[in-house]
Amino acid sequence: MIPFVEHEFGIYHVMGGLNQLSQAMTKVVEEEGGTVRTNAKVKKLTISGRKVTGIELQDGEIRSFDQVVVNADFGHAFTNLVEPRKLRKYSQENIAKKRYSCSTFMLYLGLRKQYEAPHHNIIFAKDYRSNIGDISLGRLSDDFSFYVQNACVTDKTLAPRGKSTVYILVPVPNNFSGIDWDKEKADYRLRVIDAIENRTPMRDISKQIEIEKIVTPEDWENNYCIYKGATFNLAHNIRQMLYFRPHNKFEELENCYLVGGGTHPGSGLPTIYLSSMISAGLIAKHTKMHKKRSKD
């Protein structure tokens, strides 16, 4: 579906980067009288019986809420934020049995120059089928596909004049593979740089790097709270699609709603925003009914 939508309707770029969407949402929330708190890690959901009553933060602060929306990665949240044995359908064991997407090895680069390459570049493995096979078998391919984003050709706000930011995404196995990324990281980085220099117009990229950040599947899991580093969440096989994903009004706990790529309707940014619209609609409906009942 995604390639069709991209060819038919085009691809949008948010000037300043995707973080601008979050900034804009913060503005709307604040204009409506709400507050946004960041750098406040949630340790667990507080639950009484089957009802979510609020959250406990890492620093011990406890907050009560009428409704809680969990936007953390589904697998991570219900493995870490709820006591074991509280859930049945989505117990830790059942979550671990589901099928998950691949992960990504990321190179974020700040370059001394700007290449005249297109904004989006997808370079396919010569043997695409065996690359996909390796990913599902938990192996690193010698011949891999990768994506290079050269967004500065569209958006001049991303880097100082004459310089640029580029990111490289390589689909790799998620952390069910057991790959030791501390061991693999340096060598894999060299292989990725080599592939860029040989297979894209960025022939001298290794000499142009001013600043760089690597994110491995282990980093996704440990630093960004993504279950097993599966960056595209629960896989989209038929038994985990749409209605078969965790529902927006969480089936197992009351006063608890879900949004994000691991829930209904599915992974991918437009779909993720749809999940938040659905959850917001359900909460609005619930609140309206509740108010009407207390008036009656």
Ligand X SMILES: Cc1cc2nc3c(=O)[nH]c(=O)nc-3n(C[C@H](O)[C@H](O)[C@H](O)COP(=O)(O)OP(=O)(O)OC[C@H]3O[C@@H](n4cnc5c(N)ncnc54)[C@H](O)[C@@H]3O)c2cc1C
Q: Which stretch binds ligand X (CB under 6 A): 27-35, 85-93, 201-209, 260-268?
A: 260-268
Alpha helices in 39-179 (DSSP H): 74-80, 92-97, 128-137
Interface residue with ligand X, options 47, 152, 256, 272 (CB under 6 A): 272
Interface residue with ligand X, options 79, 121, 177, 231 (CB under 6 A): 231
Nearest CB to ligand X, comparing residues 246 and 260 = 260
Binding to ligand X in span 74-93, by CB under 6 A:
76
Give 76's contacts (C-beta < 8 A, 6+ positions apart).
225, 226, 227
Q: Rounded CA gap, 90 and 75, in Å? A: 9
Kindly provide the b/e burial profile for residues 266-285, where b requires at least 16 CB atoms within 10 angstroms of the residue's own CB.
bbbeebbebbbebbeeebee
- Tell me: does residue 104 bind ligand X (CB under 6 A): yes
Binding to ligand X in span 13-72, by CB under 6 A:
41-42, 71-72
Binding to ligand X in span 163-192, by CB under 6 A:
169
- Tell me: does residue 260 bind ligand X (CB under 6 A): yes
Rounded to the nearest 5°, which phi and psi values hold at 64?
-100, 145
- Strand, coil or helix: 276: helix
Interface residue with ligand X, options 45, 87, 95, 106 (CB under 6 A): 106
Beta-sheet pairing, 68-70 with 256-258: parallel
Residues that bind ligand X (CB under 6 A): 41-42, 71-73, 76, 104, 106, 169, 225, 231-232, 260-261, 267-269, 272
